[in-house]
Amino acid sequence: MRLIQQLRRILRPAGKTAQAILRWKRFSFNDAPPIFGNSKPKSGSHLLLQILNGFTQIMPYRYVDADPIRTIKKDGGRRTTDDVLMDLRAVPEGVIGWGYLEATKENASFLTEAGRVNYFIYRDPRDMLVSQVFFATDMHEEHGMHAYYNSLSDFGARLNVAISGIDQDGMKMVSVKQRYEGVFQWLEQKNVMCLRFEDLINNRDVTLNAMLDEVEKTGYKIPTPRGKALSILVDAIQPKKSHTFRSGKTGSWRQHFTEEHKQLFKDMAGNLLVKLGYEKDNSW
């Protein structure tokens, strides 16, 4: 099985490029601006990925990279700055990149160069936490929290840990407030279009149009008429086709947060939700 997966990774770029050559009747894919889609884990990355795949149907891109570029390894270790930049520079011309990158000086400097387009998607922290607990517990056995979450008595106990974080017995996960420090670092960057997951679900057409406007701000004119382009992107959004799909809804935290969870969140995160614009005050 692993050999088959490796072969697919090797053959996929050639196959996707051949499809793009036939679709766009060209061999060169250097007209449209470089695009990178970025996210924090469990914050809408696969929704963004589906939209980026839709981009290849309306603009001459070859394909979307199969694998994300990461700052943090899957096992929790940190990759070097040079390794991350090497991966960013290695994204082929005409290929849309994506990943889970922190807003380090080096990453931000490379991605916000003139002529590039950057999207960063984030999500209501409460929904993100619920999604992370379900994902780590039930859907991803290799997740660093999988065994520990399953050792706890119920979902409520797992959610407590997700909110407050943990640092014991060699296991470390930061609190929800610390997780979102990285979000604010991207929100402060110029030349990065920051997207709320909720807007792509509840205010879809306006948000998608704004994403297309972001491409044309570089001076590039999208060849597909806007109405048709919007229709293609809407069709591309199919959450159930994502292997991490669970609900694809907003506000589902209300079904899982008890009054105790709410208080713990407020104690740990302070005015995080107010700063992000999800609440007007802390009386939610």
SS3 185: helix
pLDDT digits (tens, 9 = 90+) for 180-196: 999 999 999 999 999 99
Contact between 221 and 60 under an 8 Å Cβ cutoff? The reply is: no
**Per-chain mean pLDDT for the chain:** 91
Q: What local confidence, expressed as pLDDT, does residue 110 receive?
A: 97
pLDDT digits (tens, 9 = 90+) for 110-127: 999 999 999 999 999 999
pLDDT digits (tens, 9 = 90+) for 11-47: 889 999 999 999 999 999 999 999 999 998 889 999 9
Instruction: Give how far Cα 67 sits from Cα of 12, 88, 135, Å.
Output: 11, 12, 19
CA-angle at 154, arms to 152 and 160, nearest 5°: 75
Q: Which of 12-16, 210-214, 217-221, 237-241 has the lowest mean pLDDT?
A: 237-241
Count CB atoms within 10 A of the CB of residue 197.
23
Q: What single string gives the DSSP state of each residue in 116-146? A: -EEEEEE--HHHHHHHHHHIIIII-TTSTTH
* Domain coordinates in residue numbering, the chain: 28-124+180-239, 126-177+246-276
- More confident position, 22 or 10: 22
- Residue 227, judged by CB atoms within 10 A of its CB (0-12, 13-18, 19+), counts as exposed
pLDDT digits (tens, 9 = 90+) for 69-78: 999 877 667 8
| CATH number of this structure's domain 28-124+180-239, picked from the four choices 3.40.50.1370, 3.30.565.10, 3.40.50.300, 3.40.47.10 | 3.40.50.300
Q: Which pair of tokens denotes residue 137?
A: 């517990």
- More confident position, 147 or 135: 135
The beta-strand segments (E) located in 101-213 are: 117-122, 166-168, 171-173, 193-196
Q: What local confidence, expressed as pLDDT, does residue 44 receive?
A: 92
Averaged pLDDT, 160-188: 91
Instruction: Give how far Cα 91 sits from Cα of 71, 83, 276, Å.
Output: 16, 13, 32
Contact between 242 and 48 under an 8 Å Cβ cutoff? The reply is: no
94: pLDDT confidence band, cut at 50, 70 and 90?
Answer: very high
SS3 220: coil
**pLDDT reading at 171 higher than 90:** no
Q: What local confidence, expressed as pLDDT, does residue 245 receive?
A: 47
Task: Say what the pTM is.
Answer: 0.90
Q: What local confidence, expressed as pLDDT, does residue 135 receive?
A: 87
The continuous run of DSSP H or E covering 39 comes out as: strand 35-39
CA-angle at 100, arms to 94 and 105, nearest 5°: 90
Contact between 39 and 121 under an 8 Å Cβ cutoff? The reply is: yes
